[in-house]
Amino acid sequence: MKTITTRRTVRQYSGRDIEPEMLQKLLAEAARTQTMGNLQLYSVVVTRSAKGKAALAPAHFNQPMVESAPLVLTVCADFRRTTTWAQCRKGTPGYDNLLSFLNAATDALLFTQTFCNLAEEAGLGLCFLGTTIYQPMAIIEALQLPQLVFPVATLTVGWPAEEPPLSDRLPLESFVHVECYHDPTPEDIDRFYKEKEELPVNREFVRINNKETLAQIFTDIRYTKSDNEALSKTLLQALRKQGFWK
């Protein structure tokens, strides 16, 4: 996996299409990822049509790559197929609950990331859209997802038409704990975040937003308490609607 250390999120794609055979190979290989009881509790909806992308775009706040990418993949936590299988086979399925949602979401996300690693190694450029769980009902409607299917990841996929700079990462000691968790002290925080806070691009970001600190960009603008609380409510409503909250 030589590409991992040089990977970047790619949001601009060339006009070149992705051949169905290539996509199938990547999906089949990604499906070698381990899953719960080897049940493969996920499904993938492939959107290639302009109409399909236009239907998904609002759910992702109209980020341009949804419509400009040749391919949009929506990966779902899926207990539907397994439940139907059980119903057809005299089983008594009981997967309409929080644990089962998280089990299926886990399968879906692990599968998604192997797909990302494989696709990037094959030269494709990807953007992972965190917006998937912000407005899940809009995606559920656009893709006609039935009960016990819930979108957890969206990828826009294409051949790269940009090579953005590599993004920074926190030092290993900030997220690796030995034997037990070590709560960071204010001094630890200073050390962990120094490089990130001093990056010219981040300093400029703070300046143009009239903030004092980089952390405020996240708490006051990008991921605010009030947004998170409102979106948690709609997320819970969507989980109920899809039958994952008995």
**Residues in 109-138 that interact with a second copy by CB under 8 A:** 109-110, 112-114, 116-118, 121, 128, 130, 133-134
Using CB under 8 A, pick the residue from 15, 123, 181, 208 that binds a second copy.
181
Identify which of residues 15 and 172 has a Cβ nearer to a second copy in the complex: 172
Query: Does 201 sit near a second copy (CB under 8 A)?
Result: no
Instruction: State the DSSP code for 223.
Output: S
Question: Do 113 and 152 contact (CB within 8 A), yes or no?
Answer: no
Which of 17, 41, 243, 12 shows the shortest CA–CA distance to 147? 243
How far CA 24 is from CA of 15, 21, 117, 149, in Å, comes to 20, 5, 15, 22
Scanning residues 141 to 180, which ones bind a second copy (CB under 8 A)? 142-146, 149, 152-153, 167-170, 172, 174-180
Query: Does 199 sit near a second copy (CB under 8 A)?
Result: no
Neighbour-count burial of 174, counting CB atoms closer than 10 A to its CB (0-12 exposed, 13-18 middle, 19+ buried)? middle
Identify which of residues 16 and 122 has a Cβ nearer to a second copy in the complex: 122
Compute CA 154 distance to the chain's CA centroid, rounded to the nearest angstrom: 5
Scanning residues 33 to 52, which ones bind a second copy (CB under 8 A)? 33-34, 36-40, 42-49, 52
How far is the C-alpha of 86 from the C-alpha of 36, rounded, in Å? Answer: 16
Query: Does 13 sit near a second copy (CB under 8 A)?
Result: no
Using CB under 8 A, pick the residue from 17, 22, 64, 98 that binds a second copy.
98
